[in-house]
A and B are shown apart, each in its own frame.
Chain A
C-alpha cells in the first residue's frame, strides 16, 4: 500500500472530540479519478424473510483489483452484506433489498439483474470448504461445464491455471482425478478458490475462508489471497483483525448492519476516525 489516500470524506475530522465520534458513521466517499471502482454500493438495505433488517443503508465503493476486508463483531451483517453481491439471499423466500449495487464500468445494478447472471459474474468461497463429491478436476471445471465450455485442451489449460493461482497445482497435479473429498481441509478450501477462479469472476467474495482451517493452511490461503490482488477484485469477510491487516488493501468496519468506517486498511487500523472503530480494533469492544 502506498501512503497516498484515495479517499476523502465529507465528514469533518473531529478527532479532538473522540467521544462525539461514536454516534457518527462515515458513509459518504468520493473517489479520486485514479482509483478505478469495480462496484458501487448505494444506500443498500436488506431484510430477511422473517422481517429482520440485517443491512441498514450501506454505501461504499469496491476498488478494482484490490482486496477489501469486512470486519465487525459477530452478527453485525458481514455475511449478509457479502451475500448481497451474488444474490445468494434470493435462494430463500421472502427476502427484500432496497438500494443499489452497481457494477462498473457498465453501471448495471446487480440487484435488478437475473441472479443466475449475477452469480456467473461474481464468484464466492464459503466459510466451510464445500467441494462437490467429484474429482479434483471435475470440481475445477464445474463452473465451466455449465457455461458450455467442453473443449478438452481448453479445460486442461484452465484447470492448471486455476490450480496454480490457488497454489494447489504442485500438490495435486498427479492426482487430478481422485476425489476432492480425499484432500485435507486446507486443500479443499484452496480447491474451492480454484473452482471460483476458473470462471474468471469480476468480483470474488470470500466469507471467513480460513475460519475452519489450521494455522498452516490459513497462512497458505492468506498468501494466495495476497497474490490475487492485482488480478481480481476481492471482498473478504473476516472475524480476525490481524488477518484483515495482513491481507487487505481496504477495510470496512460494520456494526449492527451499518457501515461505520471504510478506509485504506493501514489508515483504518492506525488512525481510525470513529470512536467505535477505535474501540473495536483496540479490543475494548466486540
Chain B
C-alpha cells in the first residue's frame, strides 16, 4: 500500500495500518459474495416454484383439454366423471375480492387522506400502530367473524341470505386488508414533499383541494402500488372465504350465494385424501397457475400504472 497518500499519512497523526485496510477490503468482499448468494438463491427458488407449477400443470393439460378448462362452467374434480372448467372458481375469486376492494379502496383512501393531511401528529401516532396491530390478527379470526357475526347481522335485513355466502367474507376481507392499504397509501402521501402542499395552499387551495387535487395525484404511484398489493392479497386470501363462503364451486357472480375460490379449492384438495398424481391432485396445479397468472397480471398493471404516474419531485 505504498501509494503516495498512504506515505503521506505515515508522517501524520492519523495512521492507517495496512492490516486495517486489508481487513476492511476482506469484509467488503465477503459481504459482496454473501449478498450475491442470497440473491441467487431467491431467484432459484422462484424459478423452482414456477417450474413445479408449470410442469404439473402441463401433465394436467395432457389429460384435460385447455378448451374445457377455460370454457366449461362446471368444476367437479371429485366426481366419477369429473369436469374441469375454471370459471366457478374464478367467479368466486372475482366476486369476493371485488367486494373486498370495493370496501378497502374508498375507505383506505379516505382514512389515509385523513391521517396524512388532516389528523394532527398525536392522532396519527396513535392510529398508525393500531392499524399495524390489526394487520397481525390471524385470518381465521376474521373468517369466523364473517361466518358467526357478519352473516347473521346481514340476514336481519337480507332475509334470503344463506349461511354460506360471498358477501360477508368479501366485506370482512375488505376490512381485513384496510389497515394494509391505509398504511401503504398514507406512506405514499406523506412522501409527497411539503413544498408541493405549500405551493397549493399559496394559490388559495383549501385543505380538501390540496389533498384531492395535489397530494393524491402526486402520490398516485404509491397509492396504486398499495391497491395492487391489496388486490393480490385479496385474490390470494384463503381462510376467510373457506370458512364463510362454503366450499362449493359455484359459477355465479351473485354475492348472495356461497362459492369456492381458487385458493379455497387448493386448500380443500390438498388437505383431503386425494392420491398423489391423480387428476384431482394435478388440477390444483392448474388452478394454482391461474392464480399465479392473475397476480402476475395485477403486478404488471401495477408496474405500468406506477411508471405512468411516476413523478420525480
Is A130 interfacial (CB 8 A cutoff)?
Answer: yes
Is the Cβ of B205 less than 8 Å from the Cβ of A146? Answer: yes
Partner of B195, one of A86, A126, A196: A126
B218 within 8 A of partner (CB): yes
Chain A binder among B4-12, B136-144, B206-214: B206-214
A133 near B201: Cβ-Cβ < 8 Å: no
CB of B268 within 8 A of chain A?
no
Query: Is A84 an interface position by the 8 A CB rule?
Result: no
Q: Report B177-210 CB contacts with A as 1/0, cut-off 8 Å.
A: 0000000000000000101111111111110010
Specify which chain A residues have a CB less than 8 angstroms from the CB of B193 in the assembled complex.
130
B217 at the interface (CB under 8 A from A): yes
Q: How far is the CB of A177 from chain B (nearest CB, A)?
A: 15
CA of A246 to CA of B312, assembled, Å: 34
> Pick the contact of A119 from B120, B202, B217 — CB < 8 Å?
B202
Cross-chain contact of A93 among B120, B197, B209 (Cβ < 8 A): B120
State A88–B198 Cα separation when bound (angstroms). 8
A199, B203: Cβ atoms closer than 8 Å: yes
Secondary structure type dominating chain B contacts: helix
Q: How far is the CB of A218 from chain B (nearest CB, A)?
A: 19
Whether A133 and B218, one on each chain, are in contact in the complex, defined by CB atoms closer than 8 angstroms, is yes
Contact of A88 among B202, B209, B214, B312 (CB under 8 A): B202
* Contact B199 A119, beta carbon cutoff 8 Å: no
Contact partner of B203 among A91, A93, A119, A181, CB < 8 A?
Answer: A119
Known contacts A93-B120, A126-B195, A146-B213; A133/B202 CB under 8 A: no
* Complex Cα gap A75–B86 (Å): 68
Question: Closest approach, in angstroms, between the C-beta of B204 and any C-beta of chain A?
Answer: 4
Q: Provide the residues of chain A in CB contact with B202, threshold 8 Å.
A: 86, 88, 119, 123-124, 126, 196
Determine if A130 and B199 form an interchain contact, defined as CB atoms under 8 angstroms apart: yes
Chain B neighbourhood of A91, CB < 8 A: 197-198, 201
* A284 on the B face (CB < 8 A): no
Size band of the interface chain A makes with B: 20 to 34
Given A93-B120, A146-B213, verify A116-B199 contact (CB < 8 Å): no
A263 to chain B minimum Cβ distance, whole angstroms, is 29
Q: Which of chain A's residues have a CB closer than 8 A to the CB of B79?
A: none
Q: Which single residue of chain B is at the shortest CB-CB distance from A86?
A: B202
**Are A146 and B203 in touch, CB under 8 angstroms?**
yes
A139 to chain B: closest residue by CB: B199
Nearest Cβ on chain A to B191's Cβ, whole angstroms? 13
Q: B310's closest neighbor in chain A, by CB?
A: A133
Check if A21 is an interface residue, CB within 8 A of chain B: no
Given the complex, which residues of A lie within 8 Å of B198, measured CB to CB? 88, 91, 126, 130
Q: Which residues of B contact A117 (CB under 8 A)?
A: 204
Are B199 and A133 closer than 8 Å at their CB atoms?
A: no
* Contact residues in B for A152 (Cβ distance below 8 Å): none
B206 touches A116 (CB 8 A): yes
Cβ-defined contact, B209 with A126, below 8 A: no
- Fill in one digit per residue for A63-95: 1 if any B CB lies within 8 Å of its CB, else 0: 000000000000000000000001010010100
Number of B interface residues in the complex (CB < 8 A): 22
**A181 touches which of B204, B214, B312 (Cβ 8 Å):** B312
Which residue in chain B gives the minimum CB-CB distance to A87? B201
- Cα separation A120 to B204 with both chains bound (whole Å): 5
Measured CB to CB, the closest approach of chain B to A28, in angstroms, equals: 31
Q: Are B311 and A128 in contact (CB under 8 A)?
A: no
Q: Does B313 contact A (CB under 8 A)?
A: yes
Is A143 an interface residue, CB under 8 A from the partner?
yes
Cα-based distance from A226 to B282 in the complex (angstroms): 78
The docked-state distance in angstroms from the alpha carbon of A43 to that of B268 is 77
Please state if A132 and B196 are interface contacts (CB–CB under 8 Å).
Answer: yes
Residues from chain A with a CB closer than 8 A to the CB of B206 are: 116, 146
Is B218 touching A132 in the complex (CB atoms < 8 A)?
yes
A116 touching B204 by the CB < 8 A rule? yes
With beta carbons under 8 angstroms apart, the residue of B195, B205, B213, B217 that contacts A130 is B195
Chain B's closest residue to A119 (CB) is B204
In angstroms, Cα B210 to Cα A116, docked, is: 12
Q: Could you tell me the distance between the alpha carbons of A104 and B140 in the complex, rounded to whole angstroms?
A: 67
Shortest C-beta distance, A106 to chain B (Å), equals: 18
- A123 and B195: CB pair below 8 A? no
How distant is the Cα of A181 from the Cα of B312 in the complex, in angstroms? 7
Cβ–Cβ contact A133 & B203, under 8 A: no
B213 smallest CB distance to A (angstroms): 7
Please tell me if A96 contacts chain B, counting CB pairs below 8 Å.
no
Bound Cα distance from A128 to B202, whole angstroms: 14
- Is there contact, CB below 8 Å, between A123 and B312? no
Taking CB atoms, residues of chain A closer than 8 Å to B214 are 132
- A-facing mask of B283-313, CB < 8 A → 1, else 0? 0000000000000000000000000000111
Smallest beta-carbon distance A126→chain B, Å: 6
* Bound form: Cα–Cα A196–B198 in Å: 13
Which chain B residues border A196 with CB–CB below 8 Å? 202-203
Q: Identify 8 residue pairs between A and B in the complex whose beta-carbon atoms are under 8 Å apart, listed by A's number.
A: A88-B202, A116-B204, A116-B205, A119-B201, A126-B195, A130-B195, A142-B200, A146-B203
| B residues apposed to A, CB below 8 Å | 120, 193, 195-206, 209, 213-214, 217-218, 311-313
